[in-house]
Amino acid sequence: MENKSINLEKEFQARIDRGENIEAKDWMPEKYRKTHIRQISQHAHSEVVGMLPEGNWISRAPSLRRKVALLAKVQDEAGHGLYLYSAAETLGISRDELVEQLLEGTAKYSSIFNYPTLTWADMGAVGWLVDGAAIINQVMLTKTSYGPYARAMVRICKEESFHQRQGYEIMLALANGTDAQKQMAQDALNRFWWPSLMMFGPRDEDSPNTEQSMKWKIKKKTNDELRQQFVDQTVPQADILGLTIPDPDLKWNDENGGYDFGEIDWDEFWDVVKGNGPCNRKRMEDRNNAWDNGAWVREAALAHARKQAEQKISKTA
């Protein structure tokens, strides 16, 4: 039995090494399955919780055009959560269990959504920086080794790319506006820059999952490589806006062909991850309230589905 397990693992790794996709009904190590459940569910939860700080600004957006665009973005994020919950279900976990983990606070989601959105400029910063960081993470995932996850990411990346452009356009309008508007944009950048760098996770040396995830091609680049890519991509964009990255240690490195940047406050990162960020408790309270208030919708949908099924049976009887 032990030899059979070893042979299965060897063949599994050989498929990974050949660049093949692993599908839902294929044999896989239990740790591979659990790693994907953790990663996909965290991603799904992030999409759902990420609707909260943006949804808060729909009614306060400065024009009808901005309201409609933000409403569409929030709707997209709800869809992303649904795609991802569906992908996670192919690994043998129910959506009810995934949602319960989120509502109980036992599942994680991106730390960035535990920061408040204080001004309209924050909607620009979230689109530009947060979605920009997400795209760098997620484009890599379109080539991840688990097929259902990789395929779900194709559409998500296309929509996230549009969200990033939408956020940058908000920042551009503010940066080219009045002095007060430009200052509002700079303030949003100041507050979201470092949390955006934290989105890529802990340093490689402190990440317990990176080595195995790279071996299984769940990830194609490490946390630090992705973070460097984000900095190199975003600094020139800030220059075009005429805004200043809030990092006195930021400088171009000719030898490396990229930007050197300052040290992230890892104490803050771990504090937020552990549930002690500015908005952790509020986000969970709001999600639980939304779940409770939406009970009648779920009950009505189930009742309608039952009625449809009964009518179909009666017609075929």
Q: Which helix (H) or strand (E) holds 258?
A: strand 258-260
Q: What is the DSSP letter of 205?
A: G
> The pTM is what?
0.91
What's the pLDDT at 1? 56
Instruction: Using the Cα atoms of residue 25, residue 27, residue 33 and residue 39 in order, give the sign of their dihedral.
Output: negative
Residue whose pair of structure tokens reads 């509020």 in the numeric block: 282
Q: C-alpha dihedral over 296, 297, 301, 307, to 10 degrees?
A: 40
Backbone angles phi, psi at 295, to 5 degrees: -60, -40
Residue-wise pLDDT tens for the chain (317 aa)? 567 778 899 999 999 999 999 999 999 999 999 999 999 999 999 999 999 999 999 999 999 999 999 999 999 999 999 999 999 999 999 999 999 999 999 999 999 999 999 999 999 999 999 999 999 999 999 999 999 999 999 999 999 999 999 999 999 999 999 999 999 999 999 999 999 999 999 998 888 778 888 899 988 899 999 999 999 999 999 999 999 999 999 999 999 999 999 999 999 999 999 999 999 999 999 999 999 999 999 999 999 999 999 988 888 76
Distance in angstroms (rounded) separating the CA atoms of residues 279 and 273: 11
Residue type present at position 28: M
Residue 269 neighbours by CB under 8 Å, 6+ apart: 111, 198, 202
In b/e form, how buried is each residue of 85-96, taking b as 16+ CB within 10 angstroms? bebbbbbebeee
Chain centre distance of CA 156: 10
Q: What's the number of CA atoms in the CB half-sphere (13 Å) around residue 99?
A: 13
Task: Please provide the DSSP assignment of 133-162 as one string.
Answer: HHHHHHHHHTT-SBHHHHHHHHHHHHHHHH
Whether 121 and 185 have beta carbons less than 8 Å apart is answered as: yes
Whether 196 and 130 have beta carbons less than 8 Å apart is answered as: yes
SS3 state of residue 21: coil
What's the pLDDT at 241? 98
